[in-house]
Structure 1
Amino acid sequence: MSHPAPHPIGLADDITRQLQLLADHLAQLPPHHATQVIAHIIKPDVGLFDRVIGLVSVSSTVARVQAERGALPAEVWLALGRAANDLDAVGGDLDEHRAALRRVGTQPATNTGNPPLPAPLVVRRHR
């Protein structure tokens, strides 16, 4: 296992800046390219979203140990555990749509022909 970064708070700050930069770029991309980036972000097991879930999960585990030692209130551990579970549930919801994102993200961009028809923004979930 590799050694932790010597300055983990600086690393967290750098990653935070990079995430904001990615969000800024995503907002400016043409729709086709934006869809490709979104599909990449939620790519199973290797995407950014899964890494964030993993980070929150590890944070929950560390907070549990600290709560057991009395260094943190148990509520912090519980809140991080709920956050990890909620993010994982959102990931499950996104699983239903990964194929559609992948399909749209791999199609070449077209500037000719008819644009796609708009879809209604109210969607009923089928479970």
Structure 2
Amino acid sequence: MTAPPSHPVRLAEDIASLLKNLNDQLAQATPRQAAEILGTVLTYDDGVLALVTDLIATGSRFAQGQAHRGSLPPEVWLAMGRCANELGHINAELDGHTDALKQLGARSTAGTTPTKPVPSAMIVRRSR
């Protein structure tokens, strides 16, 4: 018989399950709901992406200590550090677009007659 997972492991499993549920909800969402979900997920300081980035950075510090003790290969620490750095850069890059998502969600609920959106030239060119 295997031991039940510890509380933090169970918490990680629960969070993974909730993220899967959120992904399913996003896939089924209306444009307004999707914009609201993404705007919340991508909030720079306390959105899901920022918090996952913080979690990976904390894991990287753990891996660093273990690598210095010889318990983990240094490649694990380096990979986790690289991952945290990349996620941080991605979070910062997306920060400039979060307001557009939030505005789309708010615009759809404002009660005004929405104007028909026009795709940017970049999108039209790529679709051909």
Q: Shared fold (TM-score greater than 0.5)?
A: yes
**How far is the alpha carbon of 1:99 from its aligned partner?**
2.0
Q: What code does the residue aligned with 1:102 have?
A: K
Q: Indicate the residue corresponding to 1:64 in structure 2.
A: 64
**Normalising by structure 2, what TM-score?**
0.83
Q: Aligned Cα RMSD in Å?
A: 2.0
**1:31-69 alpha-carbon deviations (Å, 9 max, x no partner):** 111001100001121111110000000000000011111
Structure 2 distance, partners of 1:62, 1:33, is 37
Say yes or no: does 1:121 pair with 2:123: yes
Q: Residues 78, 118 of structure 1: CA spacing in aligned structure 2 closer, same or farther, 3 A cutoff? A: same
**Normalising by structure 1, what TM-score?**
0.83
Q: How many residues align?
A: 118
Q: Percent identity?
A: 39
- SS state at 2:108 partner: coil
Q: What code does the residue aligned with 1:79 have?
A: A
Q: Indicate the residue corresponding to 2:105 in structure 1.
A: 105
Structure 1 distance, partners of 2:23, 2:47, is 15
Q: What code does the residue aligned with 1:24 have?
A: D
Q: Indicate the residue corresponding to 2:77 in structure 1.
A: 77
**How far is the alpha carbon of 1:118 from its aligned partner?**
2.6
